[in-house]
Structure 1
Amino acid sequence: MRLLTLTLAATLAAGAAFANPVSYADVVFNEDGGVEASLTGVAGNPEEGANIMKAKSIGNCVACHEITALADAPFHGNVGPILDGVADRWDATQLRGILVNAKMTYEGTVMPAYFKVDGYTRPGNAYTGKAAEGPLDPLLSAQQIEDVVAFLGTLKE
């Protein structure tokens, strides 16, 4: 019984360590700006990814991109490319890299870096006119990035 308990505890600890998300400073980009390693070690949820992409309070991807699969979300934009068939054009590594920091792939892009937290002018602290206090949170969490990558992986022609 004791050996079983110790084995179970060690397995759970190892799984938890693998599932811990990385910080932006630990993200490794390849020469094309892609991020090969999962940010969490946990598979993304495509349904949650779709919700993130169409929610104005989270990802709001539809503000810039047209996505037929998300036709129920109003006001699709035309600033970014149409994302229909995106999984036929880019793989998960490339999509993850674009979401984490699109400027690593497309230098002049206006797409926000959804996981980057430093190296830019800091926003103010609400409406106080003062700099934000403490470190900034990413626009999307590591798991949210993985969820969006999983959803984008379903968009094939």
Structure 2
Amino acid sequence: MAKASVHIAALIAASIACAANADELVPYKIAGDGIADSLTGSPGDAIRGRALVLARTTTCILCHSGPFPEARFQGDLAPDLAGTGNRWTAGQLRLRLVDASRFNAETIMPSYYRNAGLLRVGRNFDGKPILSAAEIEDIVAFLATLRY
């Protein structure tokens, strides 16, 4: 149990550190239906990405389900994440996380890396993206590993 507490504490610390830098957006280029280049210039960490997907703070698991036997109460509002790495490229995944509304203007999925033109945003979060560039890359790295 102590090991799990250390991992949870590390995840919380990392999330707070990333949130402190999350309000600074790095420029990116959309080409076709994706963002080919990493937002950070390097690949993300799939282990951190998995932890972010399962963290209730990112809300992924509230809407999506997936191959996560340890996660209770997985969502059923959005596509199952199993096989995500087969369905989309890293660039396509990146754009879906950055701004899901580019694919569906009526989506309920948050645009995790936008800070303007958003609706129903709390005052403390206005002008800030939900995730940092590093967190986006970590999630992309993890989702790319999900193959059938």
Larger Rg: 1
Which position in structure 1 is the counterpart of 2:131?
140
Task: Classify 1:121/1:108 alpha carbon distance in 2 versus 1 (closer, same or farther; 3 Å).
Answer: closer
Q: Where in structure 2 are the equivalents of 1:12-23 lying within 5 Å?
A: 23=25
Deviation, structure 1 residue 71: 2.1
Q: Is the 8 A contact 1:46 1:148 kept in 2?
A: yes
1:49 aligns with 2:40: no
Q: Secondary structure at the residue paired with 1:156?
A: coil
Structure 2 match to 1:71: 69
Cα deviation, residue 74, structure 1: 1.9
**How big is the alpha-carbon RMSD for the aligned residues of Structure 1 and Structure 2?**
2.0
Structure 1 CA distance, aligned partners of 2:92 and 2:37? 11
Q: Unaligned regions of 5+ residues in structure 1, if any?
A: 1-20, 127-131
1:118 Cα shift?
A: 0.6
Q: Which amino acid aligns with 1:23?
A: L
Say whether 1:60 aligns with 2:33.
no
Structure 1 position 73, deviation (Å): 1.9
Q: Which residue of 2 aligns with 1:5?
A: none
Aligned residue type for 2:96: I
Q: How many residues align?
A: 126
Using CA pairs below 8 Å that are at least 6 residues apart, which structure has the higher relative contact order?
2
Instruction: Give identity over the alignment, percent.
Output: 37
